[in-house]
């Protein structure tokens, strides 16, 4: 297993945790994890990389070892603000390579459109945006948010890490026992009343009070100048379950100027867990030769 090390940075008022692999001075590769995940979940992908990379993966605010906010909710633009600050610290004078999974991929894609000159290569792992919302949904969404503010949020607690590992395998039947145990060691933390719970701020469970406007995401994607690769499971079950039909997906693909998409067989949403060797091959081929 490729050894990692931790670094902590002050980022926008929070103590931010960065997990790093590889040597300082090697080409930088920024890996951005998804919702309810942590940076360590990229370990299996990093183990399969063949090139010499300096991999830098933050725990997003309120996840893993990064501090929680002093508030009631997390807002998507803050992830862009955090990423921008991290890049100013870790790569102030260079265009960067971003590889993001799920929510992290959506952050990467939007950031690459907001600051196109800062991103040299862009890879999104099963990150396709969300279904569009309409204004009529707003009052109900805000009402639900207000109702949730009346009571504290919480995560389920497991008696031990083995139980959490078993829960991870239930959620992803492709996940072998050794990988589930590794993830449980990093995704879980000691609960307030004993046992193990997910390492994250329960406030993440609150509904987002703001509506997702897909046209705004498309506007950002149209500004991306970096060559872009989307890596997706061969069976797009999650995308369709999230309300992204084939027409909306085709529109998203066409928004990027320099775009390609590669599918990975026998994989679910966490394709970097299910097929890390194949995902690493696809990503490195794209990064090193701009083709797959």
User: Tens of pLDDT along 16-52?
Assistant: 999 999 999 999 999 999 999 999 999 999 999 999 9
Closest to 174 (Cα-Cα) out of 64, 60, 74, 269: 269
Average pLDDT over residues 178-204: 91
What pLDDT does residue 186 have? 96
What pLDDT is stored for residue 290 in this prediction?
60
The pair of structure tokens assigned to 171 is 């959620």
Quick one: average pLDDT of 233-249?
91
User: Which pLDDT value is given to residue 184?
Assistant: 96
Q: Share the mean pLDDT of the chain.
A: 95
56-70 per-position pLDDT tens digit: 999 999 999 999 999
Q: Which of 15, 14, 49, 10 is nearest to 29 (CA)?
A: 49
Strand, helix or coil for residue 260: strand
How confident is the model at residue 255, as a pLDDT? 98
Alpha helices (H) in the chain, listed in sequence order: 43-48, 76-90, 103-114, 138-149, 161-171, 177-187, 214-221, 237-241, 246-255, 271-274, 276-289
- What is the CA 108 to chain-centroid distance, rounded? 9
pLDDT digit string (tens) for 76-112?
A: 999 999 999 999 999 999 999 999 999 999 999 999 9
pLDDT number for residue 292: 52
pLDDT at 192 over 80: no
Delimit the domains of the chain by residue range: 4-136+213-289
* pLDDT score of 11 more than 60: yes
Is the pLDDT assigned to residue 14 strictly greater than 70? Answer: yes
Per-residue confidence (pLDDT) for residue 85, from 0 to 100? 98
Q: What pLDDT sits at residue 179?
A: 97
Q: What's the pLDDT band for 251 if we cut at 50, 70, 90?
A: very high
156 vs 7, higher pLDDT: 7
Give the model confidence (pLDDT) of 206-224 as tens digits.
999 999 999 999 999 999 9
pLDDT value for 267:
95
Here the tokens at position 141 are 């969404």
The DSSP result for 184-195, as a single string, is HHHHEEE-BTBS
- Look at 51 and 289; give whichever has higher pLDDT: 51
The residues pairing with 273 across neighbouring beta strands, listed in sequence order, are none
Its CATH architecture, for the domain 4-136+213-289, is 3-Layer(aba) Sandwich (3.40)
Q: Does residue 75 surpass a pLDDT of 60? A: yes
Closest CA to 28 of 119, 110, 132, 156: 119
For the stretch 114-169, pLDDT in tens is 999 999 999 999 999 999 999 999 999 999 999 999 999 998 899 999 999 999 99
CA 47 to chain centre: 18
On the question of pLDDT at 194 being above 80, the answer is: no
> Residues in the chain, how many?
292
Q: What separation in angstroms does the CA of 93 have from each of 77, 118, 135, 275?
A: 23, 9, 41, 34
């Amino acid at each position: 297993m490729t050894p990692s090390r931790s670094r902590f940075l002050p980022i926008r008022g929070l103590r931010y945790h960065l997990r790093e692999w590889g040597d300082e001075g090697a080409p930088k590769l920024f890996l951005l994890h998804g919702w309810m995940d942590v940076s360590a979940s990229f370990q299996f992908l990093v183990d399969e990389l063949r090139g010499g990379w300096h991999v830098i993966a933050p725990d997003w605010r309120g996840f893993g070892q990064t501090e929680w906010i002093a508030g009631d909710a997390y807002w998507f633009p803050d992830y862009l603000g955090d990423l921008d600050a991290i890049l100013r610290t870790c790569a102030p004078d260079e265009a960067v390579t971003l590889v993001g999974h799920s929510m992290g991929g959506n952050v990467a894609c939007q950031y690459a459109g907001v600051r196109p000159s800062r991103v040299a290569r862009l890879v999104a792992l099963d990150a396709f945006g969300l279904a569009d919302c309409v204004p009529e949904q707003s009052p109900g969404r805000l009402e639900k948010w207000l109702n949730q503010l009346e009571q504290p949020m919480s995560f389920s607690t497991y008696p031990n890490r083995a139980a959490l590992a078993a829960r991870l395998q239930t959620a992803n039947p492709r996940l072998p026992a050794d990988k589930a145990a590794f993830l449980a060691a990093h995704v879980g933390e000691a609960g307030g009343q004993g046992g193990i719970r997910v390492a994250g701020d329960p406030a993440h469970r609150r509904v987002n009070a703001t509506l997702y406007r897909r046209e705004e995401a498309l506007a950002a994607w149209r500004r991306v100048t970096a060559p872009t690769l989307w890596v997706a499971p061969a069976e797009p079950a999650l995308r369709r379950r999230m309300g992204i039909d084939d027409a909306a997906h085709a529109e998203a693909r066409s928004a990027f100027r320099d775009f390609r998409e590669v599918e990975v067989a026998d994989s679910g949403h966490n394709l970097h867990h299910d097929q890390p060797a194949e995902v690493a091959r696809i990503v490195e081929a794209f990064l090193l030769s701009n083709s797959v």
